[in-house]
């Protein structure tokens, strides 16, 4: 099977979440980097950030960890053919509070590790942060 | 505050408001010549608004073989080469527009520097650094009346009356890679020619690599009691795989500064960061960088391209991190927030989340960095050599390695700094 590109996976995931009535933004700028996909769930009022990787889940994990500041749930989405190592390291995802999504052969996202909901911890609630309203 | 060690390189015009706030924190402004040529009115307005002494970087190294192509574009109609607009203006100010056009923008060679050519180039450079600014003053003050009005009427009247001069003249300069490099002879000849025509002190710029930082190089510049130094192969915060190579480069740099100091030659580093800040304790006169970038520069790097994203300076680690990395690092290690300076705490709104505002306002990162740099210099003034080394050891002991989930940055650079400095300290103690 031909390895899909990250852009192709991004297209497919956008379609999937838009069909689920989520508000989806792509390549959201965040201080010189870009978050691949950001979803706003109007029902739960939660913002999810997703970094998409065909295979380099470790890089995705670092990117997703940095995204935690500006979302409620931060995820790495990995193409299923290259997800074995990521799944074997699920405990690392859990420890860091990052969710893991496997993109299956039909380009559907399956959550295997649920991201930890970011608490406010005395900080201004993130969804009130003007940074996101501007997006 | 003693601000004699720090010079700020002017980058983009919108930074002038922040630079005006930082008047008391900086020594000189460094004005890149192409910015002066391309936008003389706002540059003259900025120089007067910031109200600090200044000198000009002639930027002439761009005309050589390894660089010139980066500054050429195709004309839309003729499809022929021409210089980028800012470089075109600079070249016109050097009276070299027709010269380059006639040779299809082939790079300058040492053989081009006949006596007549050299004399003309030195003269044009001198005029650009002196006359241009005074010629543009009335026009600049008229167009930027609102900005300059903040200085007050008395100050404006005084400035319009006085003849402005840079702190010193910097001759045209070209990269040298060995003591037998033909460009070295060109640099020296044009520096001496500039001395002959200038009523101001002349400070040549040496652009070279760390291997060439020797007493023999210094001997070539005999007669000049101040030099600007750009060591293009040094990035002070680099932690390469070959640690020994980086130690060697920084030791060579530090040793050169020490030798120059002993021989009474003042050195200003044209690009430097915290390692250069530490070297002000060992003879470095001062160093330069931009308002949030420019602590190092490879000679092949292009100028232009717009402002890069904001970043956050973590004073305890003596380096920048991207804001996303900094936010997570400061949460992981809360003591990395520098709470000692109320100005810095105000800029981050008292806490880590305040860093998110840096995306919308560049001035926050800029001010935070320069205040942090000022605080570093103040610490260094109070510290003994052993205190400086202890600080570096502590950083490594406490924070190494940084969490892999947050950053791939290695802290090996502090080890490298410590090793290079120990060599100089021991050498100074023995001499």
Q: Which residues 396-415 of B have a C-beta within 8 angstroms of A?
A: 404-408
Interface contact B351-A123, CB threshold 8 A: yes
Q: Considering only CB atoms, which chain B residues are within 8 Å of A124?
A: 353
Residues 6 or more apart from A47 whose CB is under 8 A from it?
A38, A39, A40, A41, A70, A71, A72, A73, A126, A127, A132
Helix %, strand %, coil % of chain A (to 5): 40, 30, 30
Q: Considering only CB atoms, which chain B residues are within 8 Å of A69?
A: 324, 327-328, 353, 356
Q: What is the pLDDT of residue B267?
A: 98
- Cα–Cα distances in angstroms (integers) from residue B332 to residues B275, B310, B351, in the given order: 26, 21, 13
- Determine whether B347 is exposed, middle or buried from the number of CB atoms within 10 Å of its CB (0-12, 13-18, 19+): buried
Q: Considering only CB atoms, which chain A residues are within 8 Å of B325?
A: 66
pLDDT, chain B, mean: 93
Categorize the per-residue pLDDT at B306 as very low, low, confident or very high, splitting at 50, 70 and 90: low
Nearest of B228, B270, B375 to residue B9 by alpha carbon: B270
Q: Which of A37-41, A122-126, B73-77, B423-427 has the lowest mean pLDDT?
A: A122-126
ipTM for the predicted complex: 0.85
Cross-chain CB nearest to B325 (options A66, A124, A134): A66
How do residues B235-275 score in pLDDT, each as one tens digit? 999 988 889 999 999 999 999 999 999 999 999 999 999 99
User: Which residue in B has a C-alpha nearest to residue A60's C-alpha?
Assistant: B405
What is the least distance, in Å, from the CA of A38 to any CA of chain B? Answer: 16
Q: What is the pLDDT of residue A122?
A: 39
User: Which residue in A has a C-alpha nearest to residue B357's C-alpha?
Assistant: A131
Interface contact A31-B405, CB threshold 8 A: no
The whole-number average pLDDT for the span B83-109 is: 97
Q: What is the pLDDT of residue B147?
A: 86
Q: What is the pLDDT of residue A125?
A: 39
Buried b (16+ CB within 10 A) or exposed e, B105-130: beebeeebbeeeebbbbbbbbbebbb
Q: Is A28 on the interface with B (CB under 8 A)?
A: no
Q: Which of A31, A51, A89, A98 is the mutation pick for testing B, counting most B CBs within 10 A? A: A31
What is the number of CB-based contacts under 8 A between chain A and chain B? 53
How much of chain B, in percent, has pLDDT values that exceed 90?
81
For residue A96 the two structure tokens come to: 């860091």
Give Cα B416 distance to the centre of its chain. Answer: 22
State residue A31 phi and psi, 5-degree precision. 55, 60
What is the least distance, in Å, from the CA of A19 to any CA of chain B? Answer: 31
Given a cut of 60, whether residue A123 has pLDDT beyond it is no
Local structure of B252: helix, strand or coil: helix
Sign of CA dihedral A92, A95, A98, A99: positive
Q: What is the pLDDT of residue B430?
A: 65
Categorize the per-residue pLDDT at A129 as very low, low, confident or very high, splitting at 50, 70 and 90: very low
Q: Is A34 on the interface with B (CB under 8 A)?
A: no
Give Cα B239 distance to the centre of its chain. Answer: 21
A126 and A70 Cβ atoms separated by less than 8 Å? yes
Q: Is B353 on the interface with A (CB under 8 A)?
A: yes
Q: Which of A12-21, A27-36, A58-67, B152-161 has the lowest mean pLDDT?
A: B152-161
d(CA B335, CA B330) in angstroms, rounded, equals: 7
Nearest of B204, B123, B221, B135 to residue B168 by alpha carbon: B204
Nearest of B178, B33, B209, B192 to residue B113 by alpha carbon: B192
How do residues B166-202 score in pLDDT, each as one tens digit? 999 999 999 999 999 999 999 999 999 999 999 999 9
How do residues B376-403 score in pLDDT, each as one tens digit? 999 999 999 999 999 999 999 999 999 9
Q: Considering only CB atoms, which chain A residues are within 8 Å of B360?
A: 130-131, 134
The whole-number average pLDDT for the span A9-30 is: 93
């Amino acid at each position: 099977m031909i390895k899909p590109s990250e852009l192709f996976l991004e297209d497919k995931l956008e379609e999937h979440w838009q069909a689920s009535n989520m508000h989806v933004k792509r390549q959201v700028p965040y201080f010189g980097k870009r978050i691949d996909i950001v979803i706003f769930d109007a029902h739960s009022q939660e913002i999810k950030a997703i970094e998409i990787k065909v295979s380099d889940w470790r890089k995705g994990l670092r990117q997703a960890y940095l995204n935690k500041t500006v979302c409620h749930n931060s995820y790495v989405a990995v193409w299923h053919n290259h997800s074995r190592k990521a799944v074997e390291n699920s405990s690392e995802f859990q420890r860091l509070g990052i969710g893991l999504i496997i993109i299956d052969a039909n380009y559907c996202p399956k959550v295997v590790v649920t991201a930890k909901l970011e608490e406010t911890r005395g900080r201004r609630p993130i969804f009130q942060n003007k940074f996101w309203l501007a997006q | 505050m003693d601000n004699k060690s720090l010079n700020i390189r002017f980058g983009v015009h919108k930074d002038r408001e922040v630079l005006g706030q930082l008047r008391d924190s900086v020594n000189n402004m460094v004005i890149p010549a192409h910015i002066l040529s391309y936008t003389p009115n706002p540059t003259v307005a900025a120089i007067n608004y910031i109200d600090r002494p200044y000198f000009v970087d002639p930027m002439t190294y761009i005309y050589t073989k390894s660089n010139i192509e980066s500054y050429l574009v195709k004309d839309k109609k003729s499809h022929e080469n021409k210089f980028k607009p800012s470089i075109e203006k600079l070249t016109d100010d050097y009276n070299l527009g027709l010269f380059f056009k006639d040779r299809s923008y082939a790079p300058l060679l040492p053989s081009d520097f006949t006596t007549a050519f050299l004399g003309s180039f030195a003269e044009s450079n001198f005029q650009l650094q002196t006359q241009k600014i005074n010629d543009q003053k009335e026009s600049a003050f008229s167009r930027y009346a609102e900005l300059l009005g903040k200085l007050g009427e008395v100050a404006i009247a005084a400035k319009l009356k006085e003849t402005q001069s840079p702190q010193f003249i910097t001759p045209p300069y070209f990269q040298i890679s060995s003591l037998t490099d033909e460009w070295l002879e060109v640099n020296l000849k044009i520096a001496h020619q500039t001395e002959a025509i200038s009523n101001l002190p002349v400070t040549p710029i040496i652009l070279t690599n760390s291997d060439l930082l020797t007493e023999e190089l210094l001997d070539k510049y005999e007669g000049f009691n101040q030099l600007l130094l750009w060591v293009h192969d040094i990035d002070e915060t680099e932690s390469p795989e070959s640690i020994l190579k980086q130690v060697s480069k920084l030791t060579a740099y530090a040793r050169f500064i020490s030798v120059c100091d002993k021989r009474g030659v003042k050195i200003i580093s044209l690009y430097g960061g915290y390692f250069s800040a530490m070297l002000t304790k060992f003879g470095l006169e001062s160093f330069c960088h931009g308002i949030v970038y420019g602590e190092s520069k490879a000679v092949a790097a292009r100028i232009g391209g717009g402002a890069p994203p904001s970043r956050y300076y973590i004073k305890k680690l003596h380096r920048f991190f991207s804001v996303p990395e900094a936010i997570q690092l400061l949460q992981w290690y809360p003591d990395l927030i520098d709470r000692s300076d109320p100005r810095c705490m105000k800029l981050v709104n008292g806490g880590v989340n305040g860093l998110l505002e840096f995306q919308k306002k560049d001035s926050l990162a800029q001010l935070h960095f320069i205040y942090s740099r000022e605080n570093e210099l103040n610490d260094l003034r109070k510290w003994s050599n052993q205190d400086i080394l202890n600080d570096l050891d502590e950083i490594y002991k406490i924070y190494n390695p940084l969490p892999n989930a947050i950053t791939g940055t290695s802290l090996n650079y502090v080890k490298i700094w410590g090793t290079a400095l120990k060599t100089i300290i021991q050498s100074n103690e023995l001499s």
